[in-house]
Structure 1
C-alpha cells in the first residue's frame, strides 16, 4: 500500500493511454476523470479501472480512434454515435456539444449510443456546472440488479446524477446508483479480496452473500427496494431505448474476457442554461437561500453540520490533493505491471520521495 500524488497518477494514466494510441487530448480527459474519482473518495471508479480499459484497447474491443458522429435531430436534440470509444471521451464530446447548444437554445438533450463505461457521472456534472449548466445525466450498464420480485440480474446498476451550479460555493451534485451500491465497489472488493457488507447483494441462487465474487455472479439489490428497481427502468428507457444503445441484459460487460464487439453503453444528458433562470427567476439567489435554510436546521450532533450533496466530495478532494491518494497493494501491483508492459514508469509513492529527500 502506498500514497501517491494526484498529478503523478494522472500523468501515468495519460501516458499509458497514449502508448495504446489514444490521442493526447482524449487521454487527458480519461486521466482527469479517473483521478478526480480517486480524489473524491470514489476509488471504485478511479485508477483501478485503467487496467481493464487498457486490456480492451489492446484487444481492440474498445476503439482507440473512434469516429464520433454528432448529429442534430432537432433544434435542441443531439444524437451521438460513440463508435465504441472510451466512455469518458464519448461522453465528453457529447457534453461539449450539448453545452454549446444549450447556450444558444436555453436547453439541450444529448442521447449517446455505442459508448462504454464513463466513470462517475459527477465528473460530467462538475464540467457542466463550470459552464453554468443545470445538468441531468444517466447511463445504463451491464446486468447487475433484478426487476423487483425477480432473481436474475436484468437491469444495470443504472446510475443517475444531477448537477446544480451555485453562486460562490460548491455546486450541488447528486450522483447515485439505482442499486444499493455501485457495482464498481464490489469489483474493487473482489480485487482486494475483501468481504462485502450484508444487504449489498445476492448470489446466483438468491441467497444473501458477503463474497464479492458470488455477488458478481448474482444480483445487486436495488436501493429502496421496488423504488430503486423502478428508477433503474426509467434510466434504461432514457439511456437505452431513447438513445438506440443496447438495452438491459444486452449491454456487454468489459470485464468479460469473452466479450465480442463493443459494450454499446448508452448515456442521456439534459442541460439547462442557468443564465436563463437567473434572469427570470433569480435562480442563483434562490438556490443560495434554499441551501442556507437547509443548513440552518437543528442537527442531531453539534460536531456534524448539515452538508448538501457535493460538499463531502469537495472536502475529500482538497484533503487528498494535499495528502495524496492511497492505493491498495493489489491495485498498485496491477498498475505497475501494466506500466512495465508498456514502458511507462509507475510513479514513486510520497513516502519513497520523502526518503529520497532525506
Structure 2
C-alpha cells in the first residue's frame, strides 16, 4: 500500500494523458474526475482506471483528440456525438453547453453517443450543483446484469445519479447503480485477489459466487431483483436508444481485447432551480428537512443519520489532508505507466 497526495496524482494523470496527445484542458478534466472519486472513497472509479484508458488510447479504441459535435435540437435539447473521446471529456463539454442552456430556458436535456466510460456519475452532479442546477445523470455500460430471470449479462450496471445544491453544506448527491454493487468494485476485487460477498453476483452457470473473476465472466445481480431490472431497462432506453448509442450487449467493454469502439451513451437532465423558487429558499427548506431527518429516532448503535452526499464530502476533505491510499496492484500499474512515458511517479507520504 502507498499513500499519495491528491495534487501529485492529478499531475501524474495529466502527464500520462498529455504523453498520448490529450490536450491540457481535457487531461485536467479527466484527472479531476478520477482523483475526486478516490478522495470520496469510490476507488473503483478513480485512478485505477487510468491504466486501461491509456491502453485503449494506444490501441486506437479511444480518441485522444475528438471533434465533439454538439447540436441544438429544439429549445432545450442537445444531441452530442463524442467522436469516441474519453468519457469525461465528452461529458464535460456537453455539460458546459447544457448548463448555459438550462439557465436560459430553465431546463436542458442532453443525449450523448459515441462516448466511453465517464468515471463517477456523481462528478457531473457536483458540477451542476455549483451552478445552482438540479442535475440528473445516467449512463449505460457494457453488459453486467441479467434481465430478471436470466443468467447471462445483458444490461450494463446503468447508474443514475441526482444532485441538488445546498448552501454552506454538502450538496445532496445520490449516485446509484442498477446492480447490487458497482461492477467496478468487482473489477477492483479481481485485481486485488480478494473475494466478494455472496449475493453480489452469479457465475456463468447462474450460481451464486464469491469469486470476482467468476463474477466478471458471469453477471452482477440487479439491485432489488425485478426493480433493478426495470431501472436498468429505463436507463438503457434513455442513454442508449434515445441517444442512438449502442445498447445492452452491443456496448463494448474497454476491458476486452476486441477492436470495436465502446459507443457508450449518456443522458443528462439539468433543471434551473431558480425558475421554481429562489435558490436560497430552496436550500433553506432542504436544511429544515435534513434537521427533521436527523432528529428522527435512531436505531440502537447508530450515532447519527446522514443524508446522501455527506459521507462523500467528509471523505473528500479528510483525504485531501491525509492522502489517497492506493493498492499494490494499482501502484504497480501506475509505475508501469511512469516507466513507459518516462515520468516520475511520486508523492508518497512518510507514514
Mapped to 1, the partners of 2:21 and 2:195 lie a distance apart of: 37
Matches within 5 A, 1:162-181: 162-181=162-181
Matches within 5 A, 1:128-139: 128-139=128-139
Distance across 2 between alignment mates of 1:168 and 1:280:
12
Q: Secondary structure at the match of 2:277?
A: helix
- Aligned counterparts of 1:185 and 1:55: Cα–Cα separation in 2: 20
Contact 1:143 1:251 in 2 (8 A): yes
> Which residues in structure 2 correspond to 1:184-199 (within 5 Å)?
184-199=184-199
Q: Decide whether the 8 Å contact of 1:128 with 1:134 is kept in 2.
A: yes
User: 2:231 aligned with 1:228, yes or no?
Assistant: no
| Mapped contact 1:39–1:325 kept (Cα < 8 A) | yes
**271-280 or 57-66, which deviates more:** 271-280
Unaligned runs of 5+ residues in structure 1 are: none
Which residue in 1 is equivalent to 2:295? 296
After TM superposition, give the deviation of residue 223 of structure 1 in Å.
Answer: 0.5
Which SS does the other structure have where 1:122 is aligned?
helix
The answer to whether residue 202 in structure 2 is matched with residue 202 in structure 1 is yes
CA contact (8 A) 2:140 2:265 kept: yes
Partner of 2:63: 63
Deviation at 1:343, TM superposition (A): 1.1
Normalising by structure 1, what TM-score?
0.96
Q: Does 1:337 align with 2:321?
A: no
Q: Gaps (5+ residues) in structure 2?
A: none
Which aligned pairs between 1:112-131 and structure 2 lie closer than 5 A?
112-131=112-131
Deviations 1:216-243 (A, max 9, x none): 0001000000000100000001100111
Is 1:23 equivalent to 2:26 in the alignment? no
TM (norm. structure 2) is 0.98
Aligned partners of 1:273 and 1:124: how far apart in 2?
15
CA drift of 1:168 comes to: 2.0
What is the RMSD of the two structures over their aligned residues, measured on CA atoms?
A: 1.3
Compared CA separation, residues 303 and 151, structure 1 to 2 (3 A): closer
Deviation, 1:69, is 0.1
Shift of 1:301: 4.0
SS at match of 2:266: strand
For residue 296 of structure 1, report the CA deviation from its aligned partner: 1.3
Query: Once the 2 structures are TM-superposed, how far is the Cα of residue 291 of structure 1 from its aligned partner?
Result: 1.6
